[in-house]
Amino acid sequence: MDLDPDIIRTIDELNDSSWQVMLKDPVGAADIATHALDLSRKIQYDKGIASALLNSAWCRLFLSDLTGAERIASEVLELYSAMDDLLGLSMSYNVLGAVFHERGEFDKALERFMKSLEIAKSLGRKDREAASLNNVGEVLKDSGEIQEALTYFMRASEAMKAMGDEKKQGVEIESNVLVNIGEAFLALGETENASSYLELALDSAESVEDVGTEARTLKALAHVAERRGSVKDAQDLFSRALERAQSSGQVLIASEAMTENAELLIETGDLTEALRLLELALETAGNAGAKRNMPECYRLRSLVRERLGDITSALADYKRYKEALDALSDERVARLVHNAEARYELESAKKEGEIFRLRNVELKERRAELERTNARLRSVAEIGREITASLDMETVARIVHRRLGELLDATDFSLALLDSAMDRIVFRLFIQGNVESPVFSIPADSKVSFSAWVITHGEPLLIKNAPKEYKKYIKDTAFRVGKDTSSLLFTPLFSGAMVVGAIGIQSMLPEAYSGEDLKLIGALASFVSVALENSRVHEELRKVNLALQTEKSELERLTRKVSHIANHDGLTGLPNRLLLAELLDTALKRSRRAKKIVAVMYMDLDDFKPINDKYGHRAGDIALVVVSNRLKQVLRASDTVSRVGGDEFVAIVTDLDSKLTASLVAEKLVVSCSQPMDVGGTECRVGVSVGIAFYPDDGIKAEELLRHADDALYQVKRRGKNGFAFYNGNDTRDEEPKNLDQPEA
């Protein structure tokens, strides 16, 4: 059908408008895209439909609807493919990669970004090339490969400088590239470089109203302020970042801001607020299906709960942290598989085949080479999975030797690891002529070992004619090199930026290995490095778990000790006033259910002060210990006696059927205390006055009963001491206080 040019112009303007306002207002941009989509479908305008869907996918991504973004991006990818629109394909791969990146599926993200990059290069579109380079750098940065990520960000910056007439089209990524460079420098510890780039990023983001990048930049500047020692500035910047992210609906950035702010709060001791932010961040990330921020949330929440004394929950969170980290580690392994593919794609027919396939150009002469490459890539991926499945380096070495032998001549093989502490290179597996040598080591600076040269220089080594070339690298070939060796292939093993070992194979045939073989062994070395790191992490986790268990036991012991000290009298070991209140509340609740009587007996020693005055405080302490033991002996195991003052004690007598029983107990207490005692070789005597209040007759609350028992005690004090009395409510005796020093009439 003939398309109305005016309607087409309107649709194109709507799509352009949606793209322009997307960073500032993703909700509004989504509405504009929906309107453009409806108009395009009415007149069957394919380009308008695809553009509207592309904008809609980006809007959903910015609003953290990852499922919706993936569904729409997949649909628009098919549309652009059918239209043979390479620019649209490049942009579709970008948004799909961004979705997988937010989910933490780095292998899938990197695959889409690399496709977008190669298409952009084939079109000569520097704006899309810059966007894709920036995306690849973001994945590498979040994978921990900061130096490599910085290289991609700088390449993205250079691509933007070379844009020329396309400059306006790249404005939307300029602030994003700048903040990524700033974050990379921050991760590398270069605070001042980071600050300079972040300030530029903030100005750029504000100028184009890119609210999401503005929030990210504020987060990063908060870390700069923190490193400079300005905690208040850091908290203010985190708050601004959170506000900007929430105002634009970008919940994933908000989740990261909450997590990073929580870490700062932990350092300043505000654990309650840190815990609240971490729980909110976990809920936000979980609802959005984003995995890459969750391990850090679990780790920090475990730390907070440990400091708050909730050891059980802290250990549970540490387990969740490890599981989440392991899941991301699996993604990293998968990404290495893709990296192995990417190395081959850059210089092989597969890359050219993909680009020209999109242009419907048949390249039959490349087919055989492509099939060989694919077969080898499948082997690399399969071997990589087998290598990373083991945590034992001896097993890993044997797997590498066996599987390499299926692809290359690996009759002579070595796997050497650097022991930095001993300054030695340890050969974990050394096979020559199919004969295995025992484990041995050589000095790290050895001049007669190809492995030592590779480890020292951090470079791979391909020698096609050893007799002619070896002197460029080592002094002689007498050491552990077969006399018939003609070809050698060695590659370093890396952990981050550090060389930690080397893998090598040798052949008696000249020119036995090619540049492709060097790439193959280099790809496998990446997996061996991952296996090394996994082995190291596994051992560290084992030690951490052991330390945590030890710390938990010690913490529990200390907690019990502190609790006992806080709740018991230091001299007599009896419960103190603090614990008494808790024990009395418990006794009252139990008696309320059982409908029993509880007697609260407030006791004060008579004639105790003369012992202190005459014999000293040491003698007084001995007397108090003797009295406390006598009180415990009179009472049942189910009853409680506590020391609440200098010479004051309180007994809780439970499960009474009548007040008469309480009288008998009080009488025994008075008699027991009045017996003579040996205090440092001197015989001394004290008496005890006892005031008694009953639950529920004299009160139903602990403080009420204690007060009334104290009132009854002073009845005894006023009327002769060394006896007991019941509380009667009006300071007159229900029962005459009994003075057991006086004979009964």
User: Does residue 470 carry a pLDDT above 60?
Assistant: yes
Q: Is 568 or 561 the better-scoring residue by pLDDT?
A: 568
pLDDT value of position 730:
58
pLDDT confidence band for 477 (50 / 70 / 90):
low
**In angstroms, rounded to a whole number, what is the distance separating the alpha carbons of residues 253 and 251?**
5
Query: 3-state DSSP call for residue 736?
Result: coil
Measured torsion, CA atoms of residues 615, 621, 623, 628, in degrees rounded to the nearest 10 = 170
* 489 secondary structure, DSSP code: E
What percent of the residues of the chain are helix, what percent strand, and what percent coil, each to the nearest 5? 65, 10, 20
Q: What's the burial of 373, exposed, middle or buried (CB within 10 Å: 0-12/13-18/19+)? A: buried
pLDDT value of position 329:
59
Contact 390, 404 (CB under 8 A): no
The reported pTM is 0.42
| Size (the chain), residues | 745
Buried b vs exposed e over 678-712: b needs ≥16 C-beta within 10 Å? ebeeeebebbbbbbbbbbeebbeebeebbbbbbbb
461 backbone dihedrals φ, ψ, rounded to 5°: -140, 125
pLDDT digits (tens, 9 = 90+) for 672-707: 999 999 888 889 999 999 999 999 999 999 999 999
User: Does residue 716 carry a pLDDT above 70?
Assistant: yes
Q: Is 722 or 434 the better-scoring residue by pLDDT?
A: 722
pLDDT confidence band for 733 (50 / 70 / 90):
very low
Q: Which residue has the tokens 């590398």?
A: 188
Strand partners, 684: 677
Q: First CA to last CA across the chain, in angstroms?
A: 127
pLDDT value of position 727:
94
User: How do 412-419 and 498-507 pair as beta strands?
Assistant: antiparallel
The gap from C-alpha 735 to its chain's centroid, in whole angstroms, comes to 69
**In angstroms, rounded to a whole number, what is the distance separating the alpha carbons of residues 43 and 49?**
10
Position 234: which residue type? Answer: A
Q: What's the burial of 431, exposed, middle or buried (CB within 10 Å: 0-12/13-18/19+)? A: buried
Alpha-carbon torsion (34, 39, 41, 42), positive or negative: positive
**In angstroms, rounded to a whole number, what is the distance separating the alpha carbons of residues 445 and 638?**
76
Position 149: which residue type? Answer: A
pLDDT value of position 657:
86
Overall average pLDDT of the 450-459 stretch: 91
pLDDT value of position 202:
86
User: How do 687-695 and 723-726 pair as beta strands?
Assistant: parallel
Position 318: which residue type? Answer: Y
Rounded mean pLDDT of the chain? 83
pLDDT digits (tens, 9 = 90+) for 344-373: 444 443 444 444 444 444 444 445 555 565
Q: Is 191 or 566 the better-scoring residue by pLDDT?
A: 191
Overall average pLDDT of the 194-219 stretch: 84
CA distances in angstroms from 135 to 75, 91, 102, listed in the order given: 21, 12, 11
DSSP tally for the chain: helices H, then strands E: 27, 15
Query: 3-state DSSP call for residue 145?
Result: coil
pLDDT value of position 377:
63
- According to the 3-state scheme, what is the secondary structure of 412-437? EEEEEEEECCCCEEEEEEEEECCEEE
User: Does residue 112 carry a pLDDT above 80?
Assistant: yes
Overall average pLDDT of the 731-735 stretch: 44
User: How do 723-726 and 597-606 pair as beta strands?
Assistant: unpaired
Within 10 A of 634 (CB to CB), how many other CB atoms are there?
Answer: 18
Contact 576, 632 (CB under 8 A): no
List the one residue out of 69, 134, 146, 78 whose CA is nearest residue 103: 69
**In angstroms, rounded to a whole number, what is the distance separating the alpha carbons of residues 259 and 274?**
8
pLDDT value of position 338:
46
Within 10 A of 618 (CB to CB), how many other CB atoms are there?
Answer: 11
Strand partners, 723: 739
Percentage above 90 pLDDT, the chain: 25
Measured torsion, CA atoms of residues 443, 447, 448, 454, in degrees rounded to the nearest 10 = 80
Overall average pLDDT of the 453-470 stretch: 89
pLDDT digits (tens, 9 = 90+) for 235-281: 899 889 888 888 777 777 888 888 888 888 888 888 998 899 888 88
Q: Is 318 or 502 the better-scoring residue by pLDDT?
A: 502
Find out whether the peptide bond into 696 is cis, omega within 30 degrees of 0: yes
Contact 417, 425 (CB under 8 A): yes
**In angstroms, rounded to a whole number, what is the distance separating the alpha carbons of residues 657 and 648?**
27
Within 10 A of 676 (CB to CB), how many other CB atoms are there?
Answer: 9
pLDDT confidence band for 374 (50 / 70 / 90):
low
pLDDT value of position 737:
54
Which uninterrupted H or E stretch holds 572?
A: none
User: Does residue 585 carry a pLDDT above 90?
Assistant: yes
**In angstroms, rounded to a whole number, what is the distance separating the alpha carbons of residues 375 and 368?**
11
680: left (phi over 0), alpha (psi -120 to 50) or beta: left
Longest dimension (CA), the chain: 129
